[in-house]
A and B are shown apart, each in its own frame.
Chain A
Amino acid sequence: EVQLVESGGGLVQPGGSLRLSCATSGFAFSTYWMHWVRQAPGKGLVWVARINGDGSNTPYADSVKGRFTISRDNAKNTLYLQMNSLRVEDTAVYYCVRDQYRGPVDPWGQGTLVTVSS
């Protein structure tokens, strides 16, 4: 069974940093592109970043470019999102999702909530 479990969310002050993790199981992690997608409370879905299988290609949304870094550890089957210089508008539930046919495919995890507030 494919499972993705996000962790690392919490309350952080503007300008602060946070590192999200996504532990995966049930599939050949190293062969899949992986995405981070976020959703602010009561708002729509926003694509954040994607990483290819060996970590050599990592496009980002304009809103997070230069502040967020997506990475992966294929030995640990784990995806990461390092978030620096956090802003109030980064407040959201963050989902990690694997890719199939160039798009996030099920299952999605439960997400992890990041709250940026003073």
Chain B
Amino acid sequence: DVVMTQSPLSLPVTLGQTASISCRSSQSLVYSDGSTYLNWFQQRPGQSPRRLIYKVSNRDSGVPDRISGIGSDTDFTLIISRVEAEDVGVYYCMQATHWPYAFGQGTKLEIK
């Protein structure tokens, strides 16, 4: 099975600064159709999760453009520019290329 490893697990960030979260997979996430099915999710305190990014770098509806995803093959990064108070929460990557699908452990973003 594919293992997703996120780092760091805790990320204190100053308001207005940039946050970067790494996600590495134990196998290539390139599917037979040529796409890479790597998703990013945000879970704010006390709320249900929300998807931010699909297929590595595509933003879901309503996601601000200061949130972006990059990466390829086994190495992926979520970048949050100009961090705001509303960004506090836990961020998860999730691979949907191989069965069974798998989430990373989560990265807790807090304001310094």
Q: Determine if B106 and A44 form an interchain contact, defined as CB atoms under 8 angstroms apart.
A: yes
Residue of A nearest to B52 (CB): A106
Give chain B residues whose Cβ lies under 8 Å from the Cβ of A61.
Answer: 100-101
Q: Determine if A104 and B1 form an interchain contact, defined as CB atoms under 8 angstroms apart.
A: no
Q: Size band of the B side of the interface?
A: 20 to 34
Give chain B residues whose Cβ lies under 8 Å from the Cβ of A110.
Answer: 48
Residue of A nearest to B53 (CB): A103
A45 CB–B CB distance under 8 Å = yes
Q: Determine if B43 and A45 form an interchain contact, defined as CB atoms under 8 angstroms apart.
A: yes
Give chain A residues whose Cβ lies under 8 Å from the Cβ of B105.
Answer: 44
A68 CB–B CB distance under 8 Å = no
Give the contacting residue for A47; candidates B37, B58, B97, B100; CB below 8 A.
Answer: B100
Q: Determine if A103 and B99 form an interchain contact, defined as CB atoms under 8 angstroms apart.
A: no
Give chain B residues whose Cβ lies under 8 Å from the Cβ of A50.
Answer: 101
Task: Tell me which of A8-16, A81-89, A94-102 binds B.
Answer: A94-102
Residue of B nearest to A95 (CB): B48
Residue of A nearest to B63 (CB): A106
Give chain B residues whose Cβ lies under 8 Å from the Cβ of A32.
Answer: none
Q: Determine if B103 and A47 form an interchain contact, defined as CB atoms under 8 angstroms apart.
A: yes
B50 CB–A CB distance under 8 Å = yes
Give chain B residues whose Cβ lies under 8 Å from the Cβ of A35.
Answer: 101
B102 CB–A CB distance under 8 Å = yes
Give the contacting residue for B94; candidates A45, A108, A109; CB below 8 A.
Answer: A45
B residues sitting closer than 8 Å to A (CB atoms) are 1, 35, 37, 39, 41, 43, 48-51, 54-55, 58, 60, 90, 92, 94, 96-97, 99-106
